[in-house]
């Protein structure tokens, strides 16, 4: 459904960084550029929750962060906000089960990337049928970033998906750190998605490099 092949998408998911202005005590643009220098493979702009920017402020931040991604040739994905994604010509959108209907979003996006969060085989199959390009599975580990996070399920669903030979690219999310990333890849995920592991790191550049080592050592 996109201009990316399945193998290219699997590579994009390796180090999947998610952040909004409220996910760090530092300047979000500084954090993003350090993460880009460190080697993130895709960035998702997620401006949601307490203290999130609204309206024109949100749009302007999205555009500045998108410009940074362009400089480093890293795809810029928008979380949930399809209108924003289309207005800034983002590379794609990621939606959850409580967001817009995936079939409708696919029609609106055309050949842009579509990621869908899923928590069961049934949800994964529905996302596949809707034309999703990749699946986000989690929370793998306990997380405090998302207040409405589902129950922690470890790597069990990732393993089941691979046992059933679903070929769709998978990114694991939820409480993933440098220390616990390897089991997620070993279970069959193509990459790991993180927020605070990079956004709250003392040195986001070095933290990104360490996360890459943890992921690529298992590739």
Six-digit token string for 201: 């790191």
117 among known catalytic residues: yes
Question: Has 172 been labeled as part of a binding site?
Answer: no
Question: Has 51 been labeled as part of a binding site?
Answer: no
Closest CA to 59 of 42, 49, 45, 73: 45
According to DSSP, the β-strands at 170-173 and 92-95 are unpaired
Report the DSSP beta bridge partners of residue 92: 77, 113
Question: Has 99 been labeled as part of a binding site?
Answer: yes
Active-site choice (46, 58, 106, 112): 46
According to DSSP, the β-strands at 134-137 and 170-173 are parallel
Say what angle helices 156-163 and 121-130 make with each other, to 10 degrees: 60
Question: Has 143 been labeled as part of a binding site?
Answer: yes
Active-site choice (14, 112, 146, 212): 146
182 among known catalytic residues: no
Question: Has 80 been labeled as part of a binding site?
Answer: yes
Question: Has 198 been labeled as part of a binding site?
Answer: no
64 among known catalytic residues: no
Question: Has 66 been labeled as part of a binding site?
Answer: no
| Residue ranges of the binding site | 44-48, 79-80, 99, 117, 143-146, 175, 195-196
Q: Which amino acids are annotated catalytic?
A: 46, 117, 146
Q: Which residues are annotated as a binding site for Mg(2+)?
A: 80, 99
């Amino acid at each position: 459904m996109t201009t990316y092949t399945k193998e290219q998408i699997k590579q994009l998911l390796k180090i999947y960084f998610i952040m909004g202005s409220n996910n760090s005590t530092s300047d979000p643009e500084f954090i993003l550029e350090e993460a880009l220098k460190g080697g993130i493979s895709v960035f998702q702009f997620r401006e949601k929750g307490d203290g999130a920017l609204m309206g024109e402020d949100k749009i302007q931040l999205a555009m500045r962060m998108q410009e940074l991604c362009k400089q480093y040739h890293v795809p810029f994905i928008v979380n949930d906000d399809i209108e924003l994604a289309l207005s800034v010509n983002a590379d794609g959108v990621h939606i959850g089960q409580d967001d817009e209907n995936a079939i409708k979003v696919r029609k609106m996006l055309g050949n842009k990337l579509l990621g869908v969060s899923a928590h069961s085989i049934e949800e994964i199959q529905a996302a596949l049928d809707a034309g999703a390009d990749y699946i986000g599975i989690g929370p793998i580990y306990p997380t405090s970033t998302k207040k409405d996070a589902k129950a922690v399920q470890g790597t069990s669903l990732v393993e089941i998906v691979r046992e059933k030979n679903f070929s769709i690219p998978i990114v694991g999310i939820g409480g993933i750190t440098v220390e616990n990333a390897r089991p997620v890849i070993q279970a069959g995920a193509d990459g790991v998605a993180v927020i605070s592991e990079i956004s709250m790191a003392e040195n986001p550049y070095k933290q990104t490099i360490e996360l890459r080592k943890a992921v690529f050592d298992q590739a």
